[in-house]
Structure 1
């Protein structure tokens, strides 16, 4: 970008959070590998820190990690897509993959089992969660999403 096209970051160097009429959407396509959950977590943290939603980073990255881990462990295909949408008064994060199989449930198993807690953690931390048929581009079979309320909402 030339000098006539540089973004205006305001006096503090950070962009304001979106208003109610302007959603922010950020998308990351990733190879489906063991590193995908960390890359997705880091992407979500970067987006939220950049748009003034630092208060949501811990919860959003924990839930994102669970969804991306499930996509890595249980999905089909060689890639996944992460979509972060901030549309006041909510933040919605979706992880899309090539599998048509929907999640089996969200519960926290008794005892100290190492596996099977992912969606239970998401259900406990998020305000809402669910599944979606495919993604907006039509490249993936299903998505799993969660929502968090943004600052200043009940």
Structure 2
């Protein structure tokens, strides 16, 4: 059965604990939401990149994370992942650092952000503050895939 995508945006949000199982829960949530909206065309890429951003948050912070999956009316899918570390890595920082270098073949990690660069149509990120200068409350990293309006913004 084919599901017709609605002409208006839809959003799913999920709060994730600092737990290694959070990555699996995020993947399952993305899979269920995209299946439900008939977006199997983007499932593999969105699931992979979501997994990478949630893993990054788990590995580099001690706090919780949040996932937000949005289906936009023009067919794009946007995923945002918040975590409690205010450091925004390249390529998300827009600092002009260019592409993340390839990880050595024998490295056990270091490929996630490169995958986002390779497979997302656009991406970005910013540090978040609680209103007091210098007091960070984390960061939000996001990417978009699909749709006619998706153009690389950081390439």
**Fold conserved between structures, TM > 0.5:** yes
Match of 1:44 in 2: 30
Match of 1:71 in 2: 57
Provide runs of 4+ in structure 1 moved above 4 Å: none
Residue 117 of structure 2 corresponds to residue 129 of structure 1: no
Secondary structure in 2 aligned to 1:141? Answer: strand
Task: State the Cα RMSD in Å.
Answer: 2.1
- Using the alignment, how far apart are the partners of 1:16 and 1:107 within structure 2? 40
Shift, 1:15, TM fit: 4.9
TM-score, scaled to structure 1: 0.78
CA contact (8 A) 1:84 1:92 kept: yes
Residue 106 of structure 2 corresponds to residue 120 of structure 1: no
- Using the alignment, how far apart are the partners of 1:38 and 1:102 within structure 2? 23
TM-score, scaled to structure 2: 0.77
Match of 1:84 in 2: 69
Shift, 1:104, TM fit: 4.2
Secondary structure in 1 aligned to 2:50? Answer: helix
CA contact (8 A) 2:88 2:126 kept: no
Unaligned runs of 5+ in 2: 92-99, 130-136, 151-155
Q: How does 1:128-147 map to 2 (within 5 A)?
A: 128-134=122-128, 141-147=138-144
